[in-house]
Amino acid sequence: MIVHAPVRIGPAEQALIGQLGARGATAAAERLQAIGLPTRKVESYHYTDLKMLLRAVPELAVTMPAISEPALRIEGAHRIPMVNGKADISGAMPPGMTATTAKGSSLTERDDVLVRLNSALATETLKVEIRSRATQVVHIDRRSEGGAAHVNDSVHLFVADGSKATVIETFSGTDEAHVSNHASYVAVGKGAELTHILLDLSAAAATSFATAEYHLGAEAKLRTIAIHVGPGLSRFNLFARHEGEGAHGDFTGLNLVTEGQHSDITLEVTHAVRRCSSKPLFKQIARGRSTAAFQGKIVVARDAQKTDAKLMMQGLMLSDEAQIYSKPELEIFADDVVCGHGSTTGALDEESMFYLMSRGIPQAQAESMLVRGFIEEVLDPIEDEELHLALEGVVERWLGGN
């Protein structure tokens, strides 16, 4: 590593360096001291200059009971509360499912500041293992409670061979300027099917980071949905790896930003083996003065012949002051593959608006019908009816907050 000049260290970095040092993560502390938080010059943070956007980092979170209400109630779901990094696994678990805790973070080492921070600062991982085809939805209710705190929490989810599950993780908490850095490690076994949802409902004052890494076994079927509606500053890191032949991933997301918000979803899907497919579909809607950014990269390794991958980003601008960024990328080292990407961004279609209004539907209602229609493609595949309804409610509330 070449360091050209000493980096100016701001208050947020200073706080992080202190916290890393206090936890004995000397290497991570030194690294941060040397290079600082990523600026727009770092390609993977090009649209989210953390050095500029992250102004302060509060004290590390302490263990405490849940104070706030669950941000989302899903009828019939099994809920595991997790407050400031500590999961409550005292209740009975659904058949075929176990929950335990382990020390440290669940993430694999990676050259990413959020991964390094979580790896050094998360003290405990909630480990959930599902060995059944039960239909009950599992809700991991991750919260940042109390006064403003820096929370690092971690989940390890394993869906065993041939099993089938739907797991939603929500991020929420008190209405404080928390900095939460969440980690999820998700492994989908051979022929297993998983729908995995990350829903960020944190307060507008909060900053939220979430890294999820996905490992797909042979013939596994994974659908992921990352939804941003809450925090003022947000970044999703999604890293997926097809490791067994014939695996399929539908990586999807809704990046909904409003006045004063900045939210970034960065996805990297690696096809490591033959005959896998992936269909990333991300939709971004921005209104007010806000920024939504999506970076999506599909990497096809040399051995990953017969890969079928199609990445799509669609952006909808609801205000002239909003900004939507989109950077789709393909990196292909195999020669017998079908890969594509597309990206479109625009305002609501005027012809559609005129058509709906010409039938007597008032402007505001026509707009919200079109926005709902735009979003529905992402929510529609959710099989569980109650979960589908709950997520539609989330979107509805976001729309209502116009």
Candidates 65, 91, 342, 373; binder of another protein (CB under 8 A) is 373
Q: How far is the CB of 202 from another protein (least distance, A)?
A: 27
350 touching another protein, by CB under 8 A: yes
Q: How far is the CB of 253 from another protein (least distance, A)?
A: 16
Candidates 68, 132, 323, 352; binder of another protein (CB under 8 A) is 352
3-state SS class at 357: helix
Tell me the C-alpha distance between 85 and 68, whole Å. 15
400 touching another protein, by CB under 8 A: no
Of 299, 318, 283, 153, give the one whose Cα is nearest residue 239.
299
Phi-psi region of 142 (alpha: psi -120 to 50; beta: other; left: phi over 0): beta
Binding piece for another protein, criterion CB under 8 A, among 189-197, 269-277, 293-301, 351-359: 351-359
Tell me the C-alpha distance between 155 and 126, whole Å. 5
DSSP count for the chain of H helices, then E strands: 7, 20
357 touching another protein, by CB under 8 A: yes
3-state SS class at 188: strand
399 touching another protein, by CB under 8 A: no
Say if CB 329 and CB 343 are below 8 A apart: no
372 touching another protein, by CB under 8 A: yes
129 versus 392: smaller Cβ distance to another protein: 392
Say if CB 95 and CB 78 are below 8 A apart: no
360 touching another protein, by CB under 8 A: yes
126 versus 285: smaller Cβ distance to another protein: 285
377 touching another protein, by CB under 8 A: yes
370 touching another protein, by CB under 8 A: yes
Query: Which residues touch 24 (CB under 8 Å, ≥6 apart)?
Result: none
317 touching another protein, by CB under 8 A: no
* Run of H or E residues at 156: strand 150-159
97 versus 316: smaller Cβ distance to another protein: 316
Candidates 6, 109, 351, 400; binder of another protein (CB under 8 A) is 351
Interface with another protein (CB under 8 A): 350-352, 354-363, 365-366, 369-370, 372-377
